[in-house]
Amino acid sequence: MSETGKGLRADKWLWYARFFKTRSLASKVCQAGKLRLSGQGVVKPHHKVRAGDVLTFPQACHIRVIRVVALAERRGPASEAQALYEDLKPPEAESRLPRGTPSATAKIALRDPGTGRPTKRERRDLDRLREPE
């Protein structure tokens, strides 16, 4: 852990804390303006994060609200990463969609397991179903 007076790039800290699998994904969230640092929007991934800052950002289907407790020197194991932050609003298990369930907005035709590939007629029916109206 490094000193609390120093700052660390927002994308690096998000990656070190294991919120994103790659640093480029963390950088894209910053550049898209989806990261808020203590209530202010951040559009540059090099914005400095310090201990005590509150970060708000989307992750999967949840909005994460995190307080930065410490800064890191490297991307360590998960136990080390969890010591870097305090989760102010942990994701609720009930709010998450079950795996394999399509969202309400997606137009996905469900097939029974083991029925094989769709026939040409079924594929055309699926294409008609997916066409924008």
**Which residues is 94 bridged to in the sheet?**
none
What are the φ/ψ torsions at residue 48 (nearest 5 degrees)? -80, 135
- Answer yes or no: is 69 within a domain: yes
Give residue 3's pLDDT band: very low, low, confident or very high (50, 70, 90): very low
pTM of full prediction above 0.75: no
Q: Between residues 114 and 93, which one has the greater pLDDT?
A: 114
For residue 15, give the amino acid letter. Answer: W
The DSSP code for 39 is T
- State pLDDT tens for residues 93-105: 655 545 555 555 4
**Which residues is 49 bridged to in the sheet?**
8
Q: How far apart are CA 88 and CA 114, in angstroms?
A: 44
- Answer yes or no: is 27 within a domain: yes
Structural domain range at position 52: 8-93
**Which residues is 86 bridged to in the sheet?**
67
Give the model's pLDDT for residue 26: 93
The DSSP code for 94 is G
Domain count, the chain: 1
- Answer yes or no: is 102 within a domain: no
Q: Which of 14-23, 43-52, 112-121 has the lowest mean pLDDT?
A: 112-121
Q: What is the CATH number of the domain that holds 33?
A: 3.10.290.10
